[in-house]
Amino acid sequence: AGVDPAWLPREVWRPLGSRRTLVDGSGPLVETVHGEVAAGCARYGGAVVRGTRGARGAPGVPDGSYDLVLRLVHHGGAGRHTDPALLASPGEEGFVHERSGGTTTVTASGQRGLLYGLFHVVRLGEDAFRGDRAPEAHRPATELRMLDHWDNVAVHPVMGQVERGYAGGSLFWRDGSAVADLERVRGYGRLLAACGINAVSVNNVNVHEAEAHLLTDRVGDVARIADALRPYGVRTHLSVNFASPVLLGGPACADPLDAAVREWWAEAVRGVYAAVPDFGGFVVKADSEGQPGPFTYGRSHADGANMLAAALAPHGGTVHWRAFVYDHRQDWRDRSSDRARAAYDHFATLDGEFADNAVLQVKHGPMDFQVREPVSPVLGALPRTRVAVEVQATQEYTGQQRHVCWLGPMWSEVLRFRPGGEHGSAVGALARGGMVAVSNVGDDPFWTGHPLAQANLYTFGRLSWQPDAEPRRILDEWIALTFPSAADRLVDGLRTVLHGSWRTYEKYTAPLGVGFMVQPGHHYGPGVDGYEYSPWGTYHFADRDGIGVDRSAATGTGYAAQYSGPWAELYESPGSCPDELLLFFHHVPYGHVLSSGRTVVQHIYDTHFEGVAEVEEARRVWAGLADLVEPARHARVAERYEEQVRCAREWRDQVNSYFLRKSGVADERGRTIY
């Protein structure tokens, strides 16, 4: 009650709910499917029949008397497909969808497959019940499609309850334990299943004192959450502290090669599986930003990951080991060290050393979720390692869910990038370890704070299922589900305000890939020199003559040489480096002419004026949709546009004034710069 239905408003059930459906098969997720169909039918007058034979319909009733058949076929069971390979191919999570003789059929050999098949029919709406359709197999590109929550159980004095959370408190934790009423958690699982996500990590990767106990004496809390997510095929994972043995009263060290430490972890994992039989595994941030790790004991990150992998393996669990390892106590005076190099320098040489159930979880860019970064060279550098791509749905650096910033196009660019050049595989195919997003969800009634930020969560889910999908098609799907029977004017308006919003955000913030320039600590709003003399390794090096970081091999930090294929060469020279990444790779004078024909400083002025104008225009378009959107949702977005316009102007004026003062170069068009 009081919670936004997001992309599953009741009307989306009308086509299915007004028809006759057979749900055939048995198992807990088949019960979920049946429950969903029954609820739809109760609303819209259809009927659902329950079969449990796993083949050939309910006793005595031919399939043809149903509009929809949702069937779980057991391995080796009798299917009605002429081509058994087609039926076998979808795997545990896939399904086959077809339509003939007035009956739509979804067949799956795994229960999750049936659930995803159901939501496929929901997405198709009336189209699912029209014409004929030859059998199509649908299956996810990768078996792990995960959201990481940076939620603290205890409210952290600096970071609050959800680190980098912009949607209220935690969905899972309240007053120091798992929330008493798990209805919303269950509803979350349902939304996730409807966009293809099958795993959630329920606590922050910075594992503080209270949260460390989730692994042992507090595992009952984790089990309650897992019980709520399980009916929707979502497995629960936990972030753990590498020094857990020490913190939780085990051996006095956490050396991954120490027998007593290994036995401590094996025992802890046995306890977790006793409470959560389908537990997914661990997420680990080690030797990063103050978190403990194997370096303390002179061990490698493969040693660390493999110890946890060994403890998890007998139970079928996976360890997600994050590659976000860098020196956060850098000396800004030292121009030879480069944070961008760190992940590759630490991990590329470990290829082939990780256990089969260890996944290396790599941030999509080499720095930290900036609005524009090159794709991390790590993603193409470990062919013998299961690598997962990590993106950030929570908008830490992209407007903190006060600004509209639809990230579909950015994620799609990452997933389509081919690290080995045009003939090599895309990142979406190389990421055999899965796709992970830092969740943007909290206990906010709209789930994501900004109602339009729901589109990011949905888009991530669908891209994780199909990384080469066209993001605009996914956005249209989200619009159609979230705003059923929307007038064309509303559909057009939503497209207008969302499609270009990432590029708009890029225009009014840090230019040409240089990154950061945010207020230190909370990271909201402009702070051009906010991190310039800090230990965090995030510099732009602007002076009176120029700006940017020389990461070339010839004269800079050598980062560009971490790429293979044609990329190393392309990024090496300012002449061939794409404009949007120029300042990431090169330090150039303000008068340097971009391939667009504009100078760097004029580009900065122009884009900042344009960016603000685009936000003002989006605010106007949104205001014009007031008659077509429910008042509460409209008002929430409208209010956030006020803040976005204010903040974008602040960005424009600070960035433009900064560069005018540094460079002394006037704006060609004589606009107001302070």
**C-alpha–C-alpha distance, residues 548 and 351, integer Å:** 32
For residue 214, the minimal CB distance to ligand GCW (Å) is 16
For residue 157, the minimal CB distance to ligand GCW (Å) is 14
**C-alpha–C-alpha distance, residues 346 and 302, integer Å:** 10
Comparing CB distances to ligand GCW, the nearer of 163 and 506 is 163
Comparing CB distances to ligand GCW, the nearer of 150 and 460 is 150
Q: Which of 332, 330, 322 is nearest to 369 (CA)?
A: 322
Of 368, 477, 572, 614, which one is the catalytic site residue?
Answer: 368
Which amino acid is residue 57, in one-letter code? G
Axis-axis angle for helices 488-499, 600-623 (nearest 10): 150
Q: Which of 212, 275, 202 is nearest to 246 (CA)?
A: 212
Q: Is 667 a catalytic residue?
A: no
Cα 643 to its chain centre, rounded Å, is 25
Comparing CB distances to ligand GCW, the nearer of 153 and 191 is 153
Which amino acid is residue 571, in one-letter code? Y
Comparing CB distances to ligand GCW, the nearer of 159 and 275 is 159
Of 267, 289, 642, 643, which one is the catalytic site residue?
Answer: 289
Which amino acid is residue 585, in one-letter code? F
For residue 605, the minimal CB distance to ligand GCW (Å) is 29
What DSSP element (H or E) covers 496?
Answer: helix 488-499
Paired tokens of 76: 């080796």
DSSP of 6-52, one letter per residue? TT--GGGGHHHHTSEEEEE--SHHHHHHHHHHHHHHHHHS-EEEEE-
**C-alpha–C-alpha distance, residues 82 and 68, integer Å:** 20
Comparing CB distances to ligand GCW, the nearer of 8 and 147 is 147
For residue 163, the minimal CB distance to ligand GCW (Å) is 5
* Phi and psi angles of residue 266, each rounded to the nearest 5 degrees, phi first: -60, -40
Which amino acid is residue 204, in one-letter code? N
**C-alpha–C-alpha distance, residues 241 and 238, integer Å:** 10
What DSSP element (H or E) covers 649?
Answer: helix 631-663
For residue 392, the minimal CB distance to ligand GCW (Å) is 7
3-state secondary structure of 138: strand
CB burial readout 16-38, b (16+ within 10 A) else e: bbbbebbbbbbeebbebbbebbb
Residues that bind ligand GCW (CB under 6 A): 150, 163-164, 205-206, 285, 324, 368-369, 396
Burial class of 597 by CB neighbour count within 10 A (0 to 12, 13 to 18, 19+)? exposed
For residue 553, the minimal CB distance to ligand GCW (Å) is 27
CB-side exposure of 597: number of CA atoms within 13 Å? 0
**C-alpha–C-alpha distance, residues 47 and 620, integer Å:** 45
Comparing CB distances to ligand GCW, the nearer of 58 and 323 is 323
- Could you tell me where the DSSP H helices lie in 509-599? 567-572, 582-585
For residue 374, the minimal CB distance to ligand GCW (Å) is 17
Q: Is 368 a catalytic residue?
A: yes
Would you give the DSSP letter of residue 594?
P
Which amino acid is residue 554, in one-letter code? A
For residue 523, the minimal CB distance to ligand GCW (Å) is 7
Which amino acid is residue 76, in one-letter code? G
Which amino acid is residue 394, in one-letter code? T
**C-alpha–C-alpha distance, residues 73 and 79, integer Å:** 7
**C-alpha–C-alpha distance, residues 42 and 375, integer Å:** 48
CA dihedral 448, 453, 454, 458 (to 10 degrees): -130
For residue 322, the minimal CB distance to ligand GCW (Å) is 7
Comparing CB distances to ligand GCW, the nearer of 37 and 205 is 205
Comparing CB distances to ligand GCW, the nearer of 122 and 202 is 202
How distant, in Å, are the alpha carbons of 314, 381, 434 from that of 305?
15, 18, 17
For residue 376, the minimal CB distance to ligand GCW (Å) is 13
For residue 516, the minimal CB distance to ligand GCW (Å) is 11
Of 221, 287, 396, 444, which one is the catalytic site residue?
Answer: 396
Q: Is 396 a catalytic residue?
A: yes
Is the CB of residue 462 less than 8 Å from the CB of residue 477?
yes
Cα angle at 275 between 274 and 279, to 5 degrees?
A: 90
The residue with its CB nearest to ligand GCW is 368
End-to-end, the C-alpha distance of the chain in Å comes to: 49
Comparing CB distances to ligand GCW, the nearer of 150 and 458 is 150
3-state secondary structure of 342: helix
For residue 150, the minimal CB distance to ligand GCW (Å) is 5
* Phi and psi angles of residue 655, each rounded to the nearest 5 degrees, phi first: -65, -50
3-state secondary structure of 418: coil
Residues forming the active site: 289, 368, 396
